[in-house]
Amino acid sequence: METINIQKTKAIDQVNTRERVSRLFSRSIKNESKMQALYLALSMIDLTTLEGKDSDGKVKQLCYKASHLHYKHPGLPHVAAICVYPTMVPIAKKELEGTGINVASVATAFPSGMADINAKLDEVKSVVDAGADEVDMVISRGRFLSGDYNYVSDEISQVKDACGKAHLKVILETGELVTLDNVQLASDIAMEAGADFIKTSTGKVSPSATPPVVLTMLEAIRDFQIKTGKKIGMKPAGGIGTAKQAIQYLVMIKETLGDEWLSPNLFRFGASSLANDLLMQIMKQSTGQYQSKDYFSID
Amino acid sequence: MSQRIDIQKTYKLFIGGKFPRTESGRYIKWTDKNETTVVNICRGSRKDFRNAMVSARSASGGWSSRTAYNRAQILYRVGEMLEGRREQFMAELTLQGLTNKQAKNEINQSIDRFIYYAGWADKFQQVFSRVNPVSLPYFNFTLPEATGVVAAIAPDDTSLLGLVSIIAPVIAGGNSIVILASESLPLSSISFAEVLHTSDVPGGVINILTGYRSELIEHFSSHMDVNAIIYCGHNTDDQKLVEINAALNVKHVIQFPIQDWSNDKHQSPYHILKCQETKTTWHPIGF
Amino acid sequence: MTKKQIWDYSPAPESTDHIQLKDQYDLFINGKFIPAVDGKYFDTINPSNEKKIAEVAESGKADIEKAVASARKAYEKTWSKMHPKERGKYIFRIARLLQERAREFSVIETMDGGKPIRESRDVDVPLAAAHFFYHAGWADKLEYAFPGRVAEPLGVVGQIIPWNFPLLMAAWKLAPALATGNTIVLKPAETTPLTAMKLAEIIQEADLPPGVVNIVNGAGETGKFLVNHGDINKIAFTGSTDVGKYIMKSVAGSGKKYTLELGGKAANIIFEDAPIDQAVEGIINAIFFNQGHVCCAGSRLYVQEGVAGEVITKLQKRMESLIVGDPLDKNTDIGAINSKMQLDKIKTYVKLGKEEGGTIYQTACSLPKKGYWFVPTIFTDVSQSNRIIQEEIFGPVLAIQTFRTVDEVITKANNSPYGLSGGVWTDKGSKIFKVTQDIRAGVIWANTFNKFDPSSPFGGYKESGVGSEGGIEGLSGYVNLV
């Protein structure tokens, strides 16, 4: 294992970060630009169901929705991926065959990460064997908060190895890291250790993706690219339910990382209800009429 | 048997904690009313003023960064030293025309005035500072800060009390000062410098010149390194000249047309504020 | 990756159909709108398209006489006699009316001055209302502001304000003067008279007694009449140091008081341990806010050597995302330069900066054909003796130097005849206190820049001015303490 000298790289100021966020979020996205953004956001969704009560039927429905977003509106893109628990990977894989939509699975004792490393690695291998294209792991927050950064880093490296060809998204669970300094440090550790994407949250801890956290992670990605030339993806997850929020994040990406990141290859939304709101807005934009939720299927 | 000859005092300038003669070599003959005593007073020049300004500027940073408690103690020490030199001041003040009673009063008040401002030195900032409740997540506070170097034309009609009343609030506030002593009553001003010399006031914080107002006022008010100019007097031409020259580098102008400095209403922490700037600092509150 | 269209922002113009603008504005004297005695008008144009918006009456000497007489009468007959509590209520009314009509004022401010609607909407107008609101409450509480003293009004105050924050500066001037019981003759800048005239409408609506606030328009000549009027007790001026000095000389010997908010050349200091990304944003905010037409702009940047490369690279990248253009577009970051005259001045300095050997970097944005525009500009390789370091440019032009030690940067920061503001960026608390203490300037932003609040005093050291505005210190400029 190569040793990484892990330390905080630079200071972050919370209040200024919030101010930057509110400035970015005050961009006014209208007309053509809005329509384009809504389509773009749809294509970036990791349509997610991560409930203990998830059933085969629910996953099937979700998979159908993923590739048939709305019958009245042809030409819509499909979402980027379906994100499910490990046991649901085979069924999702089957349902999505030929659609171009990826299957992502959470792993590593999601959402707490409170398991032995070998158990985690076994879980990762099994979901990859079952066909998962993407693995969403969680970091060991307890170890991180106790300052055992090397453990966190080593764990990610091992999971990355276990992923093989599958893409690795590393969930920092920023709601438990509390400070932006921690968010940045955890982002750096994850990227150094081999993450393809860094992701804010499991969706099981409040707060989940907050705009200052997302901005901090985007800036960490930018700095990592400057340092290493590598492009790491970003996935905010949890609490992003409206088209307005999604568009605000697109503005944030555009002005922090540039147009190249405005793609499902490098940016995803982890969300369950966002797709419908985007669809409602698309309908509103094209018809001029405000929409009702009753006309959009809940899957 | 010959009678003992008195040693007469030489009145010199007070610059940078030292007593130089004027670089110009000029003097002003000063006599008491009965013309029985004759004293040669230095006729300070613009170059003396320039030298005093250099001393004052170099002393200013150190003085303002001392703790308020330390400045307070030094001002108090000046009062103590003044108290110990009553006899000398009695002699000079009476020589300059005061009755014994008047002289005694002036000395008492001068001492008390220094003690008054000694007490303010470690309080005015507390009284006039604030935390401002800005409507943003910032900690915002305002405090008075010494303006730097003050040039002052002392009151002409009092030899000691006027001088002290000008100097004390200026230095209590952390400034250094170059002051032109009373032209007509200069003796106690120079003796006061001796008091300063034996107290703990660092050299250069207080510089006392003697000479003609008419000659020096132009230089006092036009010098580009002066942050504030104090003018004591009623001459409207002088007042105007000071204000016009102040515009050269945007000096603060403080006019004191006060005649009766013995009134205690002329001591006030607001006098300290006249030679203070207002500094406001913002910092975010977050983690 | 499939080839795709670049996602860009469509135009998002603020609507202008709700604003009410007349073709012609008169003087506001004694509670009424009246033409100038000699019937002269001048045009006010929109600097983003050079089109005339309206014409405004130009005050001559006789108009100033009228305005001052009206202010004097109002002072003696009503305003100084009124119970302070009632005075306060009038000011509260103005605050409320301004809040109600906020968007209209924002749009007009942007049209008349060229600043982005984002700023007039989010900064100028809300802050102006906040100034009235904050000061209103002081009217009947002055005894708590000045312990041991009674605060008495000065009388008639002449106020002259600049074009960079027309409405906000009017509020900064009017609110404390009214709260302390003075009456006023206000002269807005000749390129930006409109929001002051709209404010006059609000003052009328608020039923303020006639003559308490009088507004006269015109350029330097009009200002001179006001400054030199014999029945003015105080001049409050915000503008250039040259004019400030002129005012000091003009009022010399007259007994008139003055407060002066003059120029600046603020040092913005970035230490190695600073929160770099936030500091870069702070630099942007310090120099490009309001096209750099800000007296407290952070126009001298000092970056510690170890992070200079990173900071400048990130700054350049960030500058590229600044949107320059139609001030009424809600996405515009940098609007139009306020006037042709100011644009020429900026161009002269940029030429000078190049001649002095500075390395220039300007963003690639395209500028509209009509109107007055200047691209965001930074200079590196400049030295302390360069004129672009020494002199106030008042435009979107930043001069950057590097430094190694704390002592060195404090010396350089203070090496200026100005002392209005400063910025310091570091993660170390004790260093913040050391540097903010040692910088000779009236407002220091630590890990932030260009923040304003009615309760926070604002004013300069040295040639940046005399007196403060805002907070209790601001009130003290409008009272005699007896």
Our CA-based measurement puts residue A175 at a distance from the nearest CA of chain B, in whole angstroms, of 14
What is the end-to-end Cα distance of chain B in Å, rounded?
88
Give the distance from residue A28's alpha carbon to the nearest chain C alpha carbon, in angstroms: 6
Which 163-222 residues of chain C touch chain A by CB within 8 A?
Answer: none
Name the residue facing C147 among B127, B133, B134 (closest C-beta): B127
Interface check for A40 against chain C (CB to CB < 8 A): the answer is yes
Write the CATH number for C398: 3.40.309.10
**C5 located within any domain:** no
- B72 Cβ contact partners less than 8 Å away, ≥ 6 residues apart: B118, B119, B121, B122, B172
Question: Does residue A1 form part of some domain?
Answer: no
- Provide the domain count of chain A: 1
Q: Which of C7, C273, C447 sits opposite A262 (nearest CB)?
A: C7
For residue C161, which of C124, C133, C203, C212 has the smallest C-alpha distance? C124
pTM: 0.96
B6 or B199, greater pLDDT: B199
Alpha carbons within 13 A on the beta-carbon side of C25: 31
C244, C455, C457: residue with CB nearest B250:
C244
pLDDT of residue A4: 54
Residue B282: which of C147, C448, C471 has the nearest Cβ?
C448
Tokens linked to C68: 């001052």
**Co-location of C339 and C358 in the same domain:** yes
Which uninterrupted H or E stretch holds B28? strand B27-31
Q: Do C10 and A16 touch (CB under 8 A)?
A: no
Q: In chain B, which among 109-128 make CB contacts under 8 A with chain C?
A: 127
**CB A28: neighbour CB atoms within 10 A?**
18
C229 assigned to some structural domain: yes
Please report the ipTM that was assigned to this predicted complex: 0.96
Give the domain ranges of chain B.
46-284
Q: Could you tell me the residue range of the domain that residue C448 belongs to?
A: 267-453
The CATH number of B46-284 is which of 3.40.50.200, 3.20.10.10, 3.10.105.10, 3.40.605.10?
Answer: 3.40.605.10
C18, part of any domain:
no
B151-189 confidence digits (pLDDT tens): 999 999 999 999 999 999 999 999 999 999 999 999 999
Smallest Cα distance from C465 to chain B, Å: 7
Looking at the structure, tell me whether residues C316 and C258 fall in a common domain. Answer: no
Q: CATH code at A49?
A: 3.20.20.70
pLDDT in tens, A95-121: 999 999 999 999 999 999 999 999 999
What's the CA gap between A175 and A204, in Å, rounded? 10
Confirm or reject contact between C149 and chain B (CB < 8 A). Answer: yes
- Strand ranges in B98-215 using DSSP code E only, listed in sequence order: 130-131, 138-146, 149-153, 176-180, 206-209
Q: Residue A1 — very low, low, confident or very high, per pLDDT cuts 50/70/90?
A: very low
Judge if C231 and C314 occupy the same domain.
no
* Cβ contact A28–C331 (<8 Å): yes
Asked whether residue C121 falls in the same domain as residue C218, the answer is: yes
**Range C345-357 burial, b when 16+ CB lie within 10 A, else e:** bbeebbeebeebe
Residue C7 within a domain: no
The answer to whether residue C320 is catalytic is no
For C447, which of A13, A20, A31 is closest by C-beta distance?
A13
- Selection from C256, C16, C263 nearest residue C159 by Cα: C256
Closest alpha carbon to C299 in C310, C288, C290: C288
Structure tokens that stand for C26 in this block: 């008169």
Residue contact B138–A15, C-beta within 8 A: yes
CATH number for the domain including C141? 3.40.605.10
Work out the widest C-alpha separation in chain A, in whole angstroms: 59
Beta bridge partners of C360: C379
Q: What is the DSSP letter of B204?
A: T
Tell me: the pLDDT tens digits for A198-255? 999 999 999 999 999 999 999 999 999 999 999 999 999 999 999 999 999 999 999 9
Report yes or no: C187 and C214 within 8 Å, Cβ to Cβ. no
Nearest residue to C479 via CA among C68, C171, C139: C139
C296 as an active site residue: the answer is no
Using CB atoms, which chains have 3+ pairs under 8 A with B?
A: A, C
B227 secondary structure, DSSP code: S
C4 interaction partners in chain A (CB closer than 8 Å): 263
Nearest CA in chain C to B287: C427
Chain C residues touching residue A26 (CB < 8 angstroms): 118, 122, 330
For residue A2, pLDDT over 90 is answered with no
Q: Which of C109, C119, C190, C261 is catalytic?
A: C261
Residues C177, C194, single domain; the answer is yes
A292: in domain: no
* Contact check, Cβ <8 Å, B142/C148: no
Per-residue pLDDT of chain C (482 residues; tens, 9 = 90+): 344 568 999 999 999 999 999 999 999 999 999 999 999 999 999 999 999 999 999 999 999 999 999 999 999 999 999 999 999 999 999 999 999 999 999 999 999 999 999 999 999 999 999 999 999 999 999 999 999 999 999 999 999 999 999 999 999 999 999 999 999 999 999 999 999 999 999 999 999 999 999 999 999 999 999 999 999 999 999 999 999 999 999 999 999 999 999 999 999 999 999 999 999 999 999 999 999 999 999 999 999 999 999 999 999 999 999 999 999 999 999 999 999 999 999 999 999 999 999 999 999 988 999 999 999 999 999 999 999 999 999 999 999 999 999 999 999 999 999 999 999 999 999 999 999 999 999 999 999 999 999 999 999 999 999 999 999 999 999 999 99
Angle between the N-to-C axes of helices C166-179 and C102-113, in degrees from 0 to 180, rounded to the nearest 10 = 120
Size of interface A-B (CB pairs under 8 A): 14
**C6 within domain boundaries:** no
Domain assignment of residue C13, yes or no: no
In a domain, A295, yes or no: no
Tally of domains within chain C: 2
A 10 A CB-CB count for B79 gives 22
In chain B, which residue's Cα lies nearest the Cα of C254?
B240
> Does residue C3 fall inside a structural domain?
no
Q: Which is it for strands C359-362 and C377-380: parallel, antiparallel or unpaired? A: antiparallel
C317 and C182 in one domain? no
C2 within a domain of the structure (yes/no)? no
B138 touches chain A (CB under 8 A): yes
Question: Taking CB atoms and an 8 Å limit, are C331 and A262 in contact across chains?
Answer: no
Q: Is residue A175 part of a domain?
A: yes
